[in-house]
Amino acid sequence: MCVCGCICVCVCVRAQAGLLLKERLQIALDVVEGIRFLHSQGLVHRDIKLKNVLLDKQNRAKITDLGFCKPEAMMSGSIVGTPIHMAPELFTGKYDHSVDVYAFGILFWYLCSGSVKLPEAFEKCSSKDQLWTNVKKGSRPERLSSFDEECWQLMEACWNGDPSQRPLLGIVQPSLQSIMGHSGSNPLSD
Number of Cβ within a 10 Å radius of residue 46? 25
Rounded CA separation 44/37 (Å): 10
Q: What is the pTM of this model?
A: 0.84
Over the chain, what is the mean pLDDT? 82
pLDDT tens, position by position, 126-172: 888 888 888 888 889 999 998 889 999 999 999 999 999 999 999 99
Do residues 42 and 34 lie in contact, with contact meaning Cβ atoms separated by under 8 Å?
no
Rounded to 5 degrees, what are φ and ψ at 63? -80, 135
Q: What is the DSSP letter of 56?
A: -
Of 47, 56, 65, 100, which is the active-site residue? 47
Do residues 63 and 49 lie in contact, with contact meaning Cβ atoms separated by under 8 Å?
no
pLDDT tens, position by position, 13-58: 454 456 688 888 999 999 999 999 999 999 999 889 988 898 887 8
Domains of the chain: 5-180 (1.10.510.10)
**Residue 47 known to be catalytic:** yes
pLDDT at residue 84, as a whole number: 79
Amino acid at 32: V
Alpha carbon 84 to its chain's center: 10
